[in-house]
Amino acid sequence: MSSGIAIIHENAARIADEMEARAALLGLEVSRLGNGARLVDAGVRAPGSIEAGRLFAEACLGGLGRVNITSRPLGPATILEARVAVDRPLLACLGSQYAGWRVKTPGFFAMGSGPARALAAIEPLFAKLPLASRASRSVLLLETSTLPGEDVAHLIATRCGLAPDAVTLVAAATSSLAGATQIAARSVETALHKLLELGFDLETIVSGAGDAPIAPGHPDPLQAIGRTNDAVLYGASVSLWVRAEDAAVDAVLRRVPSSSSRDHGRLFHDLFREHGDFYKIDPMLFSPARVTFLNERTGRVSSAGTPDEGMLRRSAHRDPGLGRRLASARPDDGAGALRLRGEAARRAPADRARRPERSASRRLAARRRVRDGNPGRPSGAADPSRVARPGGLPGGRAPSIA
């Protein structure tokens, strides 16, 4: 690893300074804990915002990545999308962004991301890669549904070798706008971590870029976790600019996308309820849907995997009634999600069976209107001027994707 890795700390601290300066506009709440640690609530009690999520994500990357938010179609709907471009991806993604620090005290749990991880260096990853560093101040970003207290700040500061007033904690719940946004900005990080597990030389990756849907929020924490993971597993695409031998790329190419996992094709919510623990799910699943290698050394472009819109639509609960029942299922009812999925499958044949009856009734009504001299559309029928054209919007206009 080249020199200058400590830059991630000052970069993230500057982003946190900006978040504090713009707190009111960004929907943030900033406070100082009793020991002087700065706490930025980006989506636990505070409402947060898209911009708060974008800055959260860039702080996670140690300021070495650029995150942009746009829109993308999902069937008849339009949802948000996070696009990220990263230089020095090994340092930015694994040395900083990776959510590898499990912060736990009595009554509190969070997954920690950001440059402060490189100060504590307590994760096995730091024994494999030369990413540990020192700094005079740093930032840890927490995915949690509970705001950290003074005890949490003291633990983190101690592990980092800093005074508490040199530590900034930024917190957001998974289901919040900022929380879902920063997770969607992890497409490149997810690819790098998978490649680390596969033994690929990460030093040969020069830069990376990716995109992933921002999962719609959900009040049920388990549903929120499921949706955010599905967004990456079935919706993320990543491009990696590498300087490597083609044989090295070929050795891992088909094993990188999430489709290489035995658990691919199932909603993450169902898998999590079945196993009860992230670490019991097939680790090969945690990958983008599609990965492309752009090899500068040989000029070859190699790609594997493909996004699955069908799975994304299932994850977003395109059937609102089924979504409400699934959201109200008890967390301890391990078979709940599977039963509801079965309900949808059972209901489909009944719906199809009723279609001929509805069609016959409509034909009979049409004949009566012709007979009575009123061939116009029946009451309640769709206005042709408002019917969505193939482009997706009335009048044939295509959805605007920034």
Domains of the chain, residue spans: 1-82+89-184, 186-318, 319-366
Name the strands in the sheet holding 108-113, side by side, starting at the edge strand that comes first in the sequence: 29-32, 38-43, 167-172, 138-143, 108-113, 101-105
pLDDT, residue 277, reads 77
pLDDT, residue 280, reads 85
CATH topology of domain 186-318: 3.30.1030
* Secondary structure class of 224 (helix, strand, coil): helix
19 within 8 A of 148, measured Cβ to Cβ: no
Q: 254 CB contacts (<8 Å, ≥6 apart)?
A: 260, 304
pLDDT, residue 138, reads 98
Q: How far apart are CA 92 and CA 188, in angstroms?
A: 10
Q: How far is CA 148 from CA 45, 54, 160, 189, in A?
A: 12, 21, 16, 25
Count CA within 13 A, CB hemisphere, residue 264: 23
DSSP string covering 275-303, please? HSSGGGS-GGG-S-SEEEEEETTT--EEE
242 within 8 A of 294, measured Cβ to Cβ: yes
HEC secondary structure over 44-95:
CCCCCCHHHHHHHHHHHCCCCEEEEEEEEEECCEEEEEEEEEEECHHHHHHH
CATH of domain 1-82+89-184: 3.10.340.11
Q: How far apart are CA 386 and CA 88, in angstroms?
A: 49
Same fold? 1-82+89-184, 186-318: no
Q: How far is CA 235 from CA 51, 79, 181, 282, 358, in A?
A: 22, 12, 14, 18, 36
Q: How far apart are CA 144 and CA 176, in angstroms?
A: 10
DSSP string covering 319-334, please? SHHHHHHHHTS-TT-T
Count CA within 13 A, CB hemisphere, residue 135: 29
103 within 8 A of 110, measured Cβ to Cβ: yes
Give pLDDT < 70 ranges for the chain: 1-3, 318-402
The tokens describing 213, both together, are 């849907």
For residue 144, the one-letter residue type is T
111 within 8 A of 148, measured Cβ to Cβ: no
DSSP string covering 137-156, please? SEEEEEE-SS---HHHHHHH
* Secondary structure class of 392 (helix, strand, coil): coil
At residue 213, what are phi and psi to the nearest 5 degrees? -65, 145
Q: How far apart are CA 164 and CA 150, in angstroms?
A: 9
Q: 304 CB contacts (<8 Å, ≥6 apart)?
A: 253, 254, 256, 257, 290, 291
